[in-house]
Amino acid sequence: MYMDLGAQGHRGSKEHRGSKGQGRQGAVRRESYATSLSNLQSAICNLQSEIGRPPYRPTVLPLNILPMRQRFGLGYDAHTFGADRPLKLGGVEIDHTTGLTGHSDGDAVTHALIDALLGAAAMGDIGQLFPDTDPRWKGADSMKMLAEVKRRLTAASYFVFNVDITVVTEKPKIAPHAPAIREKLAVVLGVSVDAVSIKAKTNEKMDTVGRGKGLMVYAIASLGGA
């Protein structure tokens, strides 16, 4: 804010100096925070090396995004088995007797994750962005849809902190495929594999999922931004 010259000039000069001082203090605080974070990360690496665990590889964030906003989103998807195509989850083809039904490729893991990411950014949902009434998305690769969501997040100055996914199904077993799914999703999201978690549960023979007729997926996404 500019002050009129004259009687208010001296006051304006003081306020200007005060504003510059506050700016310098903010920069010092951010640098101090970053130094403390770096020291903590180094301590974690040293401790993990001593106990024989793989070293922690943190994502280094630039100072100009501190302080930052953090947002969370929840996604859900469910499909029935019965499609005459390969079963694909998180971009990985899994050996199973049948694929999942759906307008695109039926990748319920990626669909739930897309909804979680869009929800965190308040950008609507997968049905709005990729409607099943649009023939362009008939049989579409869900990983390309995820890449488009990531592009929109980046354009809005968001980045992905981490995602956590739970698959509820009796069959197939998800654990043997979890490393490959994490790798695929991490590449598209532009994060390390450590930022992607996927796990599985059964439904203890209850309801349609418990009888092996389909599966459900829940996903949580955490976003950060300036």
Instruction: Enumerate the domain spans of the chain.
Output: 1-61, 69-225
Q: How far is it, in rounded angstroms, from Cα 62 to Cα 150?
A: 20
- The predicted model scores a pTM of 0.70
- Please report the pLDDT score of residue 2 as a whole number: 40
Tokens of 140: 């579409």
Longest dimension (CA), the chain: 84
Q: Give per-residue pLDDT as tens, 27-40.
A: 555 566 556 666 66
72 within 8 A of 120, measured Cβ to Cβ: yes
- Of residues 224, 107, 78, the one with CA closest to residue 163: 224
86-144 pLDDT per residue, tens: 999 999 999 998 888 888 889 999 999 999 999 999 999 999 999 888 888 887 899 99
Q: What percent of the chain has pLDDT over 90?
A: 53
Distances (CA, A) of 16 to 2, 10, 20: 9, 10, 6
Question: What local confidence, expressed as pLDDT, does residue 177 receive?
Answer: 96
pLDDT digits (tens, 9 = 90+) for 54-95: 655 555 555 454 556 799 999 999 999 988 889 999 999 999
- Give the pLDDT of residue 102: 84
As assigned by CATH, the class of the 69-225 domain is alpha beta
